[in-house]
């Protein structure tokens, strides 16, 4: 496969412009007759994204797709996490895209198939996999047509539906995705015992469980407390219980596993601040298990609408940040002091708080502005 952007002189030009202003670069004329300036910028953008999301692709001969395909690709961190829990003989990715998930997920399978309707994108992925000495069967076909013609069964079927409409606006409901998972879920479960679907971190979990069949597990995956994706597992052998996993990668926090729906029967106790203060990570907040956290770790909430917890003795393995703090009066705050500001269920935002009290941002000390049942309070790290 002849790829003009891989010519040595083009690659040298790309390397020399990795830190250039891309808007200015796009206004220039390409110095090459067979490679446009748009194609050059596409490769530069790809390398910039790869540095953060999948550095294993920063190799000679790797070619990057347009921006949209890069945006929806998983990072190597989330893909690696998923690869550690999926195993079998035959694996298929029905929406392979740029193939990052498939590259990692396929490591525990003998037989790997990638389906992609975009011809040029699939050729690019096949080229990259050859460079990386990775084998697979590449099928250039619409998913719907493949499902009609296919006669094979698989141990795991994986999908990452496109989350943009025809006007490239972001969409989130399953019926608006491409493919529409609701229309094909029954067919998928005839072809595999396990179907794994990657979804937007903004998807509503209750909605998800109300429209999908045979949900066995939901993983909320964050990287450094930034929720990146929600992954739902459909299983032919599903029981009535749905296990939800809260995972915060690249942190020292423990994973939390709970039965989906258990929040409804959980209750919180309340207290004014005690010696230790707990702030759940964003996977817990996404899961909405505010009472269950109180019960599970024997913690007390400060206020029904303040998702901050407290205890007199330190609790280990909490999925979030833990501080030793004391309540202070606003008059005790010295101007020009340096603090990390946290504002939760409080009228002022961190920037407004810094302006009001004349504070500098950063340092090792924390101030938490929040509310207990008795009213507004300020907490300072000890």
Pair (96, 226) in one structural domain: yes
Instruction: Return averaged pLDDT per consecutive 10 residues of the chain, 382 residues in all.
Output: 89 93 93 94 94 91 91 90 95 95 94 96 96 96 95 96 71 86 95 95 94 95 96 85 96 95 95 98 97 97 96 96 95 89 96 94 94 96 92
Spatial CA neighbour of 158 closest among 128, 209, 200, 115: 115
According to the model, what pLDDT value does residue 163 have? 76
Both 227 and 311 in one domain: the answer is no
- Final residue before a domain boundary, out of 230, 259, 288: 259
Same domain, 77 and 57: no
pLDDT at residue 318, rounded to an integer: 97
For residue 164, the 8-state DSSP code is B
Residues 299 and 270 in one domain: yes
Exposed e or buried b per residue across 160-173, where buried means at least 16 C-beta atoms within 10 angstroms of its C-beta? bbebeeeeeeeeee
Residues contacting residue 215 through CB under 8 Å, at least 6 positions apart: 208, 209, 232, 233, 234, 238, 242
Are 254 and 232 spatial neighbours (Cβ–Cβ below 8 Å)?
no
Q: Kindly state whether residues 227 and 253 are assigned to the same domain.
A: yes
For the domain that residue 107 is a member of, what is the CATH number? 3.40.50.150
Shared-domain flag, residues 317 and 173:
no
pLDDT at 99: 94
292-318 pLDDT tens trace: 999 999 999 999 999 999 999 999 999
Do residues 120 and 243 both lie within one domain?
yes
Together in a domain, 316 and 335: yes
- Tell me how far CA of residue 252 lies from CA of 59, 161, 249, in angstroms: 31, 31, 8
- The pLDDT, as a whole number, for residue 236 is 84
Q: What is the pLDDT of residue 71?
A: 83
111-151 pLDDT, tens per residue? Answer: 999 999 999 999 999 999 999 999 999 999 999 999 999 99
Q: Say whether both 132 and 255 belong to one domain.
A: yes
Count of domains forming the chain: 3
Task: Determine the pLDDT at residue 23.
Answer: 93
Q: Which domain holds residue 276?
A: 264-381
Of 43, 64, 85, the last residue of a domain is 64
* Residue 126, pLDDT score: 96
User: CB of 39 within 8 A of CB of 7?
Assistant: no
Q: In this predicted structure, what is the pLDDT of residue 162? A: 84
Do residues 274 and 311 make contact, with C-beta atoms less than 8 angstroms apart?
yes
Check whether residue 208 and residue 301 sit in a common domain: no
Same domain, 212 and 272: no
């Amino acid at each position: 496969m002849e790829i003009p952007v891989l010519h040595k002189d083009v690659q040298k030009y790309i390397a020399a412009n990795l830190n250039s202003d891309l808007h200015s670069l796009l206004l220039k004329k390409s110095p090459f007759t067979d490679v446009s300036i748009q194609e050059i910028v596409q490769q530069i953008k790809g390398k910039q994204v790869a540095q953060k999301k999948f550095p294993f692709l920063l190799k000679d001969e790797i070619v990057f797709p347009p921006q949209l395909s890069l945006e929806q690709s998983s990072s190597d961190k989330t893909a690696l996490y998923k690869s550690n829990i999926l195993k079998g003989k035959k694996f298929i990715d029905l929406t392979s895209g740029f193939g990052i998930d498939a590259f990692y997920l396929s490591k525990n399978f003998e037989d790997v198939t990638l389906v992609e309707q975009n011809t040029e994108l699939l050729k690019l992925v096949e080229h990259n996999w050859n460079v990386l000495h990775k084998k697979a069967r590449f099928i250039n076909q619409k998913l719907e047509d493949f499902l009609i013609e296919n006669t094979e069964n698989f141990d795991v079927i994986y999908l990452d539906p496109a989350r943009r409409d025809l006007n490239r606006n972001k969409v989130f409901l399953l019926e608006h995705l491409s493919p529409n998972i609701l229309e094909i879920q029954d067919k998928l479960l005839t072809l595999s015992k396990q179907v794994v679907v990657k979804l937007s971190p903004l998807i509503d979990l209750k909605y998800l469980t109300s429209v999908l069949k045979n949900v066995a597990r939901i993983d909320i995956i964050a990287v450094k407390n930034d929720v990146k994706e929600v992954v739902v597992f459909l299983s032919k052998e599903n029981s009535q219980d749905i296990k939800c996993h809260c995972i915060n990668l690249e942190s020292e926090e423990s994973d939390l596993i709970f039965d989906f729906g258990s929040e409804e029967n959980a209750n919180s106790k309340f207290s004014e601040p005690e010696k230790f203060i707990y702030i759940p990570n964003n996977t817990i907040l996404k899961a909405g298990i505010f009472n269950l956290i109180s019960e599970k770790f024997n913690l007390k909430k400060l206020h029904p609408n303040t998702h901050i917890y407290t205890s007199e003795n330190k609790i280990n393995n909490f999925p979030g940040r833990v501080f030793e703090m004391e309540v202070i009066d606003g008059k005790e705050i010295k101007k020009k002091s340096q603090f990390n500001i946290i504002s939760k269920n409080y009228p002022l935002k961190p920037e407004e708080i810094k302006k009001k009290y004349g504070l500098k941002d950063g340092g090792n000390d924390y101030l938490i502005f929040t509310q207990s049942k008795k009213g507004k309070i300020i907490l300072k790290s000890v």
